Amino acid sequence: MKQLDVFDLLAASGPFAECAEKLMLYGQFVGSWDIDATWYEQGGGRRKGKGEWHFNWILGGRGIQDVLFAAGAPAHQFGTTLRCYDIAMDAWHVTWMQPYGGEFVHLLGRKVGDRIVQEGVGSDHRRRERWSFTDITQDSFLWLGEVSFDDGVTWFLEQEMRAIRRTAP
């Protein structure tokens, strides 16, 4: 019996037809993006970097997976997000993993106005995460990574990534 390739099994050519409209919330990002990132420190410092972000359909078109990495990073430092739509909740389950940095974050994502807002907790359960896609056009978006240590009363902008589409979907 021929061994199947897991990557071939994961890949899908587009959204699952019965939910296509809802799936396009993240489906609009399918393709490759160049990233300009800025990280902010609570003491006022900042650093900048460049990277790549690649999105594609998976699981028969019911999910989106991405791979995100800093320019020049070796593959063992890449991170990935799995996003799957939950029809019953009308929300997305979002899981980010970057083993190299010890980052494992679980969020729920929804459309809020003209933004996509994802909220949840990371490995440190005292820390709430809010990640948003905003200023979304066909060829660009702004991603904001905010954290709260007081259960969402106040938020600190920890990272932002400005993305420019590299290739058409």
What domain range includes position 131?
Answer: 6-165
Q: What CATH code is carried by the domain that includes residue 133?
A: 2.40.128.20
> Could you say which residues of the chain have pLDDT below 50?
none
The pLDDT assigned to 6 comes to 87
* Total number of domains constituting the chain: 1
The pLDDT assigned to 5 comes to 85
**Any domain includes 125:** yes
The pLDDT assigned to 121 comes to 84
The pLDDT assigned to 47 comes to 96
**Any domain includes 76:** yes
The pLDDT assigned to 43 comes to 87
Q: Which residue has the tokens 């709260």?
A: 148
Name the 3-class secondary structure at 142.
Answer: strand
**Any domain includes 153:** yes
**Any domain includes 113:** yes
The pLDDT assigned to 167 comes to 67
The pLDDT assigned to 31 comes to 96
- Mind listing the pLDDT tens digit for each residue in 9-30? 899 999 999 999 999 999 999 9
**Any domain includes 1:** no
Output the DSSP codes for 35-87.
EEEEEE-TTS-EEEEEEEEEEEEEGGGTEEEEEEEETT--GGG-EEEEEEEET
In the numeric block, which tokens belong to residue 124? Answer: 């440190």
